[in-house]
C-alpha cells in the first residue's frame, strides 16, 4: 500500500513540475521500471538476511527418508474379512410340508429388489453378499393362500427361510 502512495505522489510531482508540451509525464514509467518499483520492499518491510557462522556454511547433506516399520495386524484375516458370498435358500411349503412351485418371492436390499419363482422343490436359491435381505412372498399359484408370515428378514449370513402357506380345499 505504501508503494502505491509513493507512486501516486511521484506522478503528482511530475505533473506539477511543468513538463514540456508534447512529452508524457509517464514516459519514465516503462514496464521494467514499474516491475522493479513494485517488487522492491520498503526498508520497513524488508526482512534482515540471516547471519551465518562458518559452521552453518557446510554443504547440506541430503537426508534419506527413514522407513517406518509396518504395524503387524493383531487379528487374523478370518476374523476381519467377511465371506465374499453367502447362499440364501427360500422355501415355500404348504401345511403338509409339500413344496409349492411357481410362488413368486422378492429378495430386497435397501436399494434394489429381485423377483424369483420357486422351482419344483418349492425353493429359490440366491447367492449374494452377506446381507440382511428383506424377503417377501408376493404371489402364490392358484389353489394356495398365505397362511402366515409373508415377509422375513434374513440373518447376515448363509441361511434358509421358509414360508408356510395353505392349500385351498
Tens digit of each residue's pLDDT (9 = 90 or more) over 117-147: 999 999 999 999 999 999 999 999 999 999 8
Residue 72 lies in a domain: no
Please state, as a whole number, how many other Cβ atoms lie within 10 Å of the Cβ of residue 163: 24
- Sequence-distant (≥ 6) Cβ neighbours of residue 136 within 8 angstroms: 105, 106, 108, 150, 151, 152
Residue range(s) defining the domain that contains residue 99: 82-167
- The distance of Cα 90 from the centroid of its chain, to the nearest Å, equals 35
Residue 52 lies in a domain: no
Query: CA-CA distance, 126 to 166, in Å (whole number)?
Result: 24
Same domain for 89 and 162?
yes
Burial class for 165, CB neighbours closer than 10 Å (0-12, 13-18, 19+) = buried
Residue 62 lies in a domain: no
Residue 117 belongs to domain with CATH number: 2.60.40.10
Query: CA-CA distance, 135 to 132, in Å (whole number)?
Result: 9
The pLDDT tens digits for 23-63 are 555 555 555 555 555 555 555 555 555 555 555 555 555 55
Residue 58 lies in a domain: no
pLDDT of residue 114: 96
Give the pLDDT mean for 79-107.
Answer: 89
Residue 67 lies in a domain: no
Same domain for 37 and 87?
no
The model scores a pTM over 0.75: no
Residue 70 lies in a domain: no
Give the pLDDT mean for 70-96.
Answer: 74
| DSSP state string for 13-54 | HHHHT-PPTTS-TTTT--HHHHHHHHHSPPTTTPPPPPP--G
Number of structural domains found in the chain: 2
pLDDT of residue 147: 81
Query: CA-CA distance, 14 to 163, in Å (whole number)?
Result: 99
pLDDT of residue 140: 96
Nearest to 3 by CA among 30, 31, 43: 43
Amino acid at each position: 500500500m505504501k508503494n502505491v502512495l509513493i507512486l501516486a505522489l511521484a506522478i503528482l510531482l511530475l505533473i506539477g513540475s511543468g513538463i514540456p508540451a508534447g512529452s508524457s509525464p509517464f514516459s519514465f514509467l516503462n514496464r521494467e521500471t514499474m516491475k522493479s518499483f513494485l517488487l522492491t520492499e520498503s526498508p520497513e518491510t524488508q526482512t534482515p538476511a540471516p547471519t551465518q557462522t562458518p559452521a552453518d556454511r557446510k554443504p547440506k547433506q541430503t537426508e534419506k527418508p527413514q522407513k517406518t516399520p509396518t504395524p503387524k495386524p493383531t487379528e487374523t484375516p478370518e476374523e476381519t474379512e467377511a465371506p465374499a458370498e453367502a447362499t440364501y435358500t427360500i422355501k415355500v411349503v404348504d401345511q403338509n410340508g409339500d413344496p409349492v412351485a411357481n410362488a413368486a418371492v422378492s429378495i430386497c436390499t435397501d436399494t434394489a429388489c429381485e423377483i424369483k419363482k420357486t422351482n419344483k422343490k418349492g425353493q429359490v436359491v440366491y447367492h449374494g453378499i452377506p446381507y440382511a435381505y428383506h424377503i417377501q412372498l408376493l404371489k402364490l399359484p392358484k389353489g394356495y393362500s398365505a397362511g402366515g408370515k409373508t415377509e422375513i428378514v434374513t440373518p447376515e449370513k448363509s441361511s434358509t427361510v421358509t414360508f408356510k402357506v395353505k392349500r385351498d380345499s
